Chain A
Amino acid sequence: MMIEDEEIDLLLDDVFEMYGYDFANYSRASLKRRIIRLFALDKFPSFAELRYRVRTEEDYLKRFIEEITVNVTEMFRDPSFYKVLRTHILPILGTKPFIRIWHAGCSTGEEVFSMAILLQEANLLRKSLLYATDLNPSVLEKVRKGIFPLNQMKQYSESYIASGGTKDFSTYYTANYGQAKLNEDLSEKIIISTHNLVSDSSFNEFDLILCRNVLIYFDKDLQERALKLFDESLGPLGYLALGSKETLKFSTIQSRYKQLDKEKIWKKTM
């Protein structure tokens, strides 16, 4: 099935005009692939029908947003990154009376819970607040529940150990009917809210902002907007963490940041 770029433009214009979601500056190759995938999944006879359904059914828009944004995430992805958080970042944040962390574009929350586990093990969770935001309300419902597929837990347990974890990972959840419900005490300091990196502004000052594998879905202009937003939202000497193939290198905010060795973690220097 060939879908012309102009047709994608029309569809995205509709979504923006009717619902206020602006995907114009999303990485087009990835977005186009997701739209073609949805078109095939829902067996539309023509692209015009897909456009019509998005325009006329608000419920279908929900599905559209869920399916064209990528919500694949995992606990302790890149264990070496979490190891650096444990050994280098948390000890510094721990000297503060209060720790504010923002997971921007958190999707279903696996990384937020990974962070909550690190904080609990460092005995810092009680003085921390973790803000978990995403543009998509449906994925935030999953963060709220803290329930993940049980069949993922073996891999998460291995990544947890590779990140320097020494406990039995299964003590962090209760298994039930193929699901793993993470312990309630991990959720107590998580604050969940919708926030759109395209259109919303800074809402607080943070000591650490994590936005890993989210900027890859944006074009360079939108990446720059998001990075400026993070810059405005970071306190003095705050940290910014990006995905393993993302960078501050070509951004205007780069001059104010110092990278930690080869890690994708930058410290704000002024």
Chain B
Amino acid sequence: MEENDVKSKYKAIVIGGSAGSLSVLFEVFPALNPVLNVAIILVLHRKYSGDSSLSDLLSTKTLIPTKEIDDKDPILPGNIYLAPADYHLLIEKNYSFSLDVSEKINFSRPSLDVTFESAADTFGTSLIAILLSGSNDDGTAGLKTVKDAGGFIIAQKPESAQMAYMPQNAINNLEMDLILDSKGISDFINMLH
């Protein structure tokens, strides 16, 4: 892939993670170049805690502005957005977020599939989707939609994941564009500059 292509092409990176994904983000975030030309959208399975401490915690790991999403927030390059607990996260065609409290998907709300699918519909070929550590099936169907819409899909290298099941499930079922460990993920994102 030509580096120039990469630079001009992508608008958003959606990162989906479940059990064991936080430690990956704690390695990836400090290694990111603080000047970012895309928006990073994080969707993590987590227990509802009623406060926003996770975004506070993540924001200590990077200089890139990091915030938990409110309904209808605009999606702007150069920011990291965290899906709130207990809502599905959808992406509107005008590059803003919509939240949804409909039924859990794959026992999860937010569901990674829901956001991957919605992001694929809006961003198409300008989307990168990354699936991290986890121990359920969520994410694979969504990555397929991203790929079908012309997006770029990456799985965490299962050997490097605390919970290999989730990225392995995607690798078994789809042709991934890349399989990377946390160092590989931060290098890849930095290459987008």
Contacts and interface: CB of A to CB of B under 8 A. Distances in A.
Contact of A246 (B71, B93, B118, B122): B71
A28 to B, nearest CB: 6
A32 interface: yes
Contacts of A33: 90, 100, 114, 117-118
Interface in B162-186: none
A32 B121 contact: yes
Contact of B93 (A5, A80, A216): A5
Which of B70, B71, B98, B118 lies at the interface centre, i.e. has the most chain A CB atoms within 10 A of its CB?
A: B71
A30 B71 contact: no
Contacts of B92: 27-29, 219
Contacts of B69: 245
Nearest to B87: A245
A78 B101 CA distance: 13
A217 interface: yes
Interface in A160-186: none
A24 to B, nearest CB: 14
Contact of B91 (A29, A34, A244): A29
B112 to A, nearest CB: 14
Given A216-B71, A246-B70, A72 B101 contact: yes
Contacts of B121: 29, 32
Contacts of A70: 100-102
Contact of B90 (A27, A79, A223, A246): A27
A80 B101 contact: no
Contacts of A219: 72, 92
Interface residues of A, number: 26
A79 B122 CA distance: 35
A79 B49 CA distance: 11
Interface string A217-236: 10110010000000000000
Interface residues of B, number: 22
A70 B101 CA distance: 7
Contacts of A215: 71
A78 B90 CA distance: 21
B159 interface: no
Contact of A247 (B70, B90, B98): B70
B84 interface: yes
Interface string B11-47: 0000000000000000000000000000000000000
A245 B100 contact: no
B98 A29 contact: yes
A72 B114 contact: no
A213 interface: yes
B101 A216 contact: yes
A37 to B, nearest CB: 9
A245 B122 contact: no
A113 B114 CA distance: 31
A27 B102 contact: no
A41 B179 CA distance: 34
B192 interface: no
A245 B84 contact: yes
Contacts of A246: 70-71
Contact of B100 (A5, A217, A244): A217
Interface in A243-259: 243-247
B56 interface: no
Given A29-B122, A78-B50, A216-B71, A245 B99 contact: yes
Given A32-B121, A73-B101, A247-B70, 17 more contacts: A27-B100, A29-B91, A29-B93, A33-B114, A33-B118, A34-B102, A70-B102, A72-B101, A216-B87, A216-B98, A217-B100, A220-B72, A245-B71, A245-B84, A245-B87, A246-B70, A246-B71
Ranked nearest first, the 6 interchain pairs of A and B with the lowest CB-CB distance are: A29-B90, A27-B98, A70-B102, A216-B99, A216-B71, A30-B100
20 contacts: A27-B90, A27-B92, A27-B98, A27-B100, A28-B92, A29-B98, A29-B122, A33-B117, A33-B118, A34-B102, A72-B101, A80-B50, A213-B101, A216-B71, A217-B98, A219-B72, A244-B84, A245-B71, A245-B84, A245-B87
